[in-house]
Structures are given as structure tokens and as C-alpha cells.
Amino acid sequence: MCRGLLNRLKKRYYHLDTGFTGTPWLCRVLSENGMNDIAYHLLMEKGYPGWLYQVTMGATTVWERWNSVQPDGKISGTEMNSLNHYSYGSIVEWMFRNMCGINPLPEAPGFKRFRIAPMPNWQIESASAMLHSASGKISSSWEIAGGKLKFLFKVPFDTRAELVLPDADVDEIRFFLRAQGMDGEAMKELGVHQEGHNVVLSVPAGIWKFAYTPLVPYRRTYSIDSPIEELEANPKTRKILEEDYYSHLREGKLPFKKELCTLEEATWGPFSGVSQEVRDELDRKLRAVE
């Protein structure tokens, strides 16, 4: 299903193609299935259709239709065309649940216990969210700075939160907690443990701060899956294309360039003529670019 969704987005050049039913789920499904970067890209897309298209057109509310106001400033129609509508405003749920990670637990109504599992991305330097729950004010904020992830969580009185620190190493988190004055017995009570690439712990009410170097760099990462336009915009990646890819092509240039999206797609078909080894080497060199 996720591969089909990714292919659909590629065909639309990573623009939205959803209505009232699909929009609330799109970014959540992407973030929760290994495509968090695409979810952020959709949020930040300035072209039509996209949320920031509305912002660049002067919107201060979310429209009912992606093109409620046309590029020339004229209203696109009078039927089904509210300029303040909940449907595409559903992206805010993704901001709370995924970007900042505040989630209820079904077994603990009223946020007596809850989960905070933020999913930062390099496309935004910082984010914060605050929820006035039945059990008190919950807040989650993060920042990407100096190669580190920094978090600040506030857990209200008489509640408990499960914190999920993304791309973290349990030994570094334990070292950080010890540096804050926490002994081994206290950490044992928090249940600090590794789950895949994340560190999970259960904390009582209070203010909790963390800062650590993530297991993967939180910066723009280039690869064979990057759009060709993006690769050509950066002098370093453009040089790799010219030396390691275009030199393999007939006449040293890409035919049908405007019809292609990612570099991986450009390697398809008989006109490319590059081997899997060349593709793998391209991907390796692109990923090394900072």
C-alpha cells in the first residue's frame, strides 16, 4: 500500500491529490510508514495544490478547496467554496500527533496517561505544540541545532507520559540523565530502554529536557530518489550528476527531462544504459553530500 502511495505521489510530482476523506490521513500515514520527509514536504509545498499555496495567496484561514482563490486573485467559484473550512485544516492534527507527537492512550481516558512521540525533520528547525487536556496542560517542543536534537516536554500534575525520543541511543540518553543528577535507581523506575532507533521511557509529572546527537543526521539528504531539479540546484550534487551520470548518456544529456521526476526514474528505460553498479555509486556519493 505504501509503495503504491509513493508511486502516486511521484506521478503528481509530490503534490497533494486528496479531498475531504483522504487529506486527514495522508501525512499521518506517510510519517508512520517511513516517509516522514515527504509529509513535511507536502506541508511546505508552495505550489498548487498545497497548503502554502494558500498562504502565499494571502490566506489567514484554511480554504475548502485547494484553488478557492486562483493565482490571479479571483475567487474560483461560489459553490462549495468556503474560505474558512475544517477539511484541509485537518493537517493540524498531524502537527499535534506526529510533528510534536502528543497522542492520547485509549486505555487512559482524559490524558491521565499519554504518549509523546515527536517526529522532527530538517525542513523545519523547530516546532512546539500545547494541548489543554482534561488532566492539564501538555506541551511538546523540539529544535534542531548544532547537529543535536533538543526537546522540552511538560507533563501535568498527577499524570504520566510515555516519551519516545527519535533516533536516539540508550547509552547516550542514560549518560545525559546521569549528568542531570539522576541515579541508576531513578532511571530504572523510568524504564529507559531502546526500541529500534528510538529510546522509550515513562515519566511522571514535571518538566523534561533532552539534548543528544541523533543516530542519523537531521539535514537535507540527497540520494538517487531526489528530484533531478533539486540535484541540479546544488553545485555539489550537480557535479556528481555531470561526472558520474550524464557522461554515460548519449550526447551527455538527459532526453525527456521534463517528463521525469527523480534521478531513479531517469535511470529507467533503454535510453539510460547505466548499470546497477553505477546507480549504487551515484546513490552513495549523493548521500555523502552535506
Note the pLDDT of residue 20.
Answer: 86
CA distance 57 to 30: 27
Angle at 95 between CA 92 and CA 100, to 5 degrees: 150
From residue 36, give the alpha-carbon distance in Å to each of 28, 40, 120, 132, 154: 8, 6, 9, 26, 24
From residue 78, give the alpha-carbon distance in Å to each of 17, 69, 74, 279: 22, 11, 11, 50
Note the pLDDT of residue 211.
Answer: 97
Q: Are 156 and 135 within 8 A, CB to CB?
A: yes
Q: How confident is the model at residue 230 (pLDDT cuts 50, 70, 90)?
A: confident
Note the pLDDT of residue 246.
Answer: 84
pLDDT digits (tens, 9 = 90+) for 146-168: 999 999 999 999 999 999 999 99
Q: How confident is the model at residue 221 (pLDDT cuts 50, 70, 90)?
A: confident
For the chain, give the percent of residues with pLDDT over 90.
58
| pLDDT for residue 242 is more than 60 | yes
From residue 136, give the alpha-carbon distance in Å to each of 94, 97, 208: 21, 17, 16
CA distance 152 to 34: 24
| pLDDT for residue 126 is more than 90 | yes
Note the pLDDT of residue 249.
Answer: 77
Among 69-78, 129-138, 236-245, 270-279, the range of highest mean pLDDT: 129-138
> Mean per-residue pLDDT for 10-19?
80
Buried b / exposed e along 253-262 (16+ C-beta atoms within 10 A): ebeeeeebbb
Q: Are 27 and 43 within 8 A, CB to CB?
A: yes
Note the pLDDT of residue 169.
Answer: 97
| pLDDT for residue 260 is more than 60 | no
| pLDDT for residue 208 is more than 60 | yes
Query: 133 - beta bridge partners?
Result: 136
CA distance 5 to 9: 6
In terms of Cα–Cα distance, which of 119, 142, 144, 128 is closest to 219?
A: 144
For the chain, give the percent of residues with pLDDT over 70.
93
Give residue 135's identity as a one-letter amino acid code.
Answer: S
| pLDDT for residue 28 is more than 80 | yes
Domains in the chain (CATH in brackets) are 2-92 (no CATH), 101-212 (2.60.420.10), 228-287 (no CATH)
Give residue 34's identity as a one-letter amino acid code.
Answer: G
> Mean per-residue pLDDT for 204-211?
97
pLDDT digits (tens, 9 = 90+) for 70-104: 888 888 876 788 888 888 999 999 999 999 999 99
Mean pLDDT of the chain: 89
CA distance 56 to 49: 12
Note the pLDDT of residue 163.
Answer: 98
